[in-house]
Chain A
Amino acid sequence: MNTPAFAAPWYAWLLLLLVPLVVFYFLKLRRTRKLIPSLILWQQVLNDRRVNAPFQKFKRNLLLLLQILLLLFCILAAMQPYIEADGERAEFIPVVVDVSASMAAVEQPGGPTRLELVQQRLRAIIDNLLPTQRLALIAVSNTARRLTEFTDNKRVLRAAVDGLRVDEVPSRLEEGLRLAQAMARVRRVRRVLLYSDGNVPERIDFALPFEVTYEQVPPAKTNIGITSLSARRTSLTEWTLFVRVASAVGDSASGRLQLWRDGEKTAEDSSVLDAGEGERILFPLTADAATRVEIRLVPEGHDALSADNRAFLDLPAPRPLNVYCPPALTTARHALAAVEGIRLFPNDRDTPPLSYDLLISDDPADGERPASVRLFVGFETLPPAARNLLRIATEPDEFVDWRRTHPLLQHIRFYQVQLADSIGYTDGKQAADMEQAGFSVLAEGRHGPLILARDSGDALTFWFTFHTDRSTLPYRVGFPLLISNAVDIALKRANLSESVALTTGTLPPLLLDPDTEYTVVGPDGHKLTVRSDANGTVPSVPAPRVGYYEYRTGTTVAKRVGAALLDARETSLNVVDALQFRETRVEQATDNPAVQDRNLWSSLAAVALILLLIEWWYFQRPPAVHNPAA
């Protein structure tokens, strides 16, 4: 604890009021008159120099002492003393508040949420705010929002604190700290106050340019929730639902899982979990049309978080995969013919769709065909950005290395595959330049890349820099596997093989009508306007709440996307005792850091009031009349 300092020391001039106080006291002292024979002796006594010593006058003058003390306490209160928590006073203090999903947890039914506890502390800080201090409030979940500028306006700060709401997303504290760092560029920020329940990543990728005072609110312990939901098609109309439930690390929990299909409960199962344990539960499902599936978790006992008790999934209607492959690429068409559940174009029976799920071609003109997954073979099909980095070499080539874990290359070996075409980098270029141009190199030859990939969001494209027909690859067993992998990728992109429930945070880009303005209405009624580009790609939109987000054009709902799952870390309520930053470690504050500077003026004013009451009583009491005859 440091020595008290004063926020308004200029009020010390009021100490001059002591002079008139003492003067008026002695002029207006309430005295009992007494007739005496002569004042001569008493006059001489008072004229004595020792009597005129000031301290003699104050002796046993309780009323005067009370008045002086009252005045002193009033002046001290006006000077606004405070006790600093450390030697330096923070003038501009960003306050970063974690509003992630776990901050909605309650310790007991009907109790305050973690965020409400933080709000209480923040209100106390605002009440004790010194005139020279400015606070800026930052709310951080997976993104950071600055709620106020640096201000000492208590009304604005209180309104901002009252407006804090929990986002049902995981926390990324570094976002809030980066925002504070940006604010520190225009203001001198020495310290940042950070309020969280500790449900944050164990390592925060941020180099602290300032001191962080981390205050942790006590976390909740008991929770059970759904951490993942997915469905995999086992046949054209058969699905298997995979539901994972987990409990918080603090305590065991149990609950009942209910499967609701199109508003009707069709199945139920129970789950009993120890602390920190998870369990996967399967539900078989038959659906020959698009189906909306919802999993509801009914906790048995106390449950700290309610947002993770519900998850939903939209299962698409079964349909064949639309694949385009030109007749000239016979090797690929042969391989595709062996795959079930696809509709191969061009053919004489079916009408070509507007967009294909998979396109395999060696014709550069097919680059204009819309498709979700595209696979081009041949140097001529390369986009100019890649072709400028490459050249056709004269030496034969072969596979040297490839990414075996990539979905396209799983279970394939390219050993001893002979290539008639040989592709090499132009002079001075290398794989890093290709990566910089936006292409991923999936396979390398002796002189250059052999397989490239690029995901533009609306389409995933693979390029084989050599033509497969001028290699021994079609004669290898890996070729049909390669085509099958491409089909699997296309199935997943079209949500035909499996469907995964989305987590809150950000909705993925969607492919809708081109050049159309959409209003995205969230589950809490919040609206956001986005516009699709010429390809019909609607960019990602934030999804801070659990529920359905509707993409509307006018009054028509063009698309309905559900964000149902919380991050598994939020459900686990796992907390860290200290924040591990890139270079330092910040322990939680042991004492109340608050603004750290505790105001004393209210206490002094209370003492002054008590003194005033005592003085009033002392003044009103009957004067003690001295009776010398007694």
Chain B
Amino acid sequence: MSSESANNPTPLVQRRPPHSAPLRSSPDRAALTSLLSNETLSRLERLRLRPRRRQTNRTQGEHLSGKGGSSIEFSDFRDYVPGDDVRHLDWNIFARLNRPYIKLFQHEEEMHVLVLLDGSASMLFGDKLAAAQRLAAAFGVMSLFGVERLSIHVCGEKEGPLRTLPPCRGRVNLTRMLRFLESVEGGGTQRIDEAIEDVLKTHRGRGIAVVLSDFLTAGDLRRPFNRLYSAGLELMAIQILAPEEIDPDIAGDWRFVDAETQQTLDISSAAELLGLYHEHRQALERFLESECRKRNGRFLSIASDEPVESVVFDKLQRQGWIR
């Protein structure tokens, strides 16, 4: 074994810094962020997340709760029953019909959008982290412009186990959110399943949990997925894989080194194993999709070199993730 190669392991593809991600900004306007172009931002402003179930917080927001409420939007009338707040009596109808009716209004509550970004070392390969950053920014923009409560957690950062953007709402936090995502470096070793558990220890609020990861973890994802479901969070899982992971071009004998754990694995006749590799990768996708569907969630697997516009405005919109 060559000592040189042991000390300087050669990655499949050198990580491209997030700041060097391709921008689709207009040349005549200064870009607001390096993650998304201004045109993309402007298109995202008009999109809203579309959860399958109405899971909202009790705090007032823009999502209709369906429970009735006290907003200015009229919903219906019903008979008065003893105990009702007499302040909600429609005195005009009572005057005309001499019978008491309670006036009902639509109740609008806010939805908590939890974005969990996997920044572990495995995400540094093949621009996976950059793709995850762009997608997280897109979800953040849609949440903030939708007056949702947004919190972003980055796991696997070098400095610590978890890095968090506290819950915020409103477009005023747009710049803050973008700067937070731009500052993500990744390279840590925290696993995604552990990170979900850690996040849920402090998270409060129902809504949507967007998990951006390659899901290449040794842990069992069913338990954190159950915890998300129990916490009232609808799971939106997006698996981001590098093209080299989707279709590796490799042959011969190799000693693979895990980027996170530094564990090694000797592979002989790798070309002979590619068929099995594809089977296992597709089996992993099917497993994740199945587990998400079981919890009323959704799953999508994308390649890291796929443009964010293609993912958001094509796949996500067509599959009904957003509207």
Residues of A participating in the B interface, judged by any CB pair closer than 8 Å: 26, 29-46, 48, 50-51, 56-57, 59-61, 623-624, 626, 628-629
Contact = CB atoms under 8 A, between A and B. Distances in A.
Contacts of A48: 276, 280
Contacts of B276: 45, 48, 50-51
B251 A626 contact: yes
Nearest to B249: A628
Contacts of A41: 216, 245, 277, 280-281, 284
B253 to A, nearest CB: 5
A56 B257 contact: no
B28 interface: no
Nearest to A59: B269
Interface in B13-37: 13
Contacts of B217: 38, 40
Nearest to A627: B10
B218 to A, nearest CB: 6
21 contacts: A31-B266, A33-B1, A33-B257, A36-B258, A36-B259, A37-B12, A37-B245, A38-B258, A39-B256, A39-B263, A39-B265, A40-B216, A41-B277, A41-B284, A42-B267, A45-B276, A51-B273, A59-B269, A60-B271, A626-B250, A628-B250
A48 B272 CA distance: 13
Interface string B232-273: 000000000010110011111111111111011111110111
Nearest to B7: A33
A629 B13 CA distance: 8
A37 B254 contact: no
A26 B268 contact: yes
Contact of A45 (B216, B266, B273): B273
A29 B268 contact: yes
What 4 A-B pairs have minimum CB-CB distances, sorted nearest first?
A35-B9, A38-B216, A37-B122, A31-B255
A42 B277 contact: yes
Contact of A38 (B126, B255, B260): B260
B248 to A, nearest CB: 7
Contacts of B214: 37-38
A46 B281 CA distance: 13
Interface of B: 1-2, 5-6, 9-13, 121-126, 128, 214, 216-218, 242, 244-245, 248-261, 263-269, 271-273, 276-277, 280-281, 284
Contacts of A35: 9-12, 256-257, 259
A630 to B, nearest CB: 9
B123 to A, nearest CB: 8
Contacts of A40: 216-218
Contacts of A37: 12, 121-126, 128, 214, 216, 242, 245, 259
Contact of B252 (A38, A56, A624, A629): A624
A21 B125 CA distance: 37
Contact of B2 (A33, A46, A59, A628): A33
Nearest to A27: B266
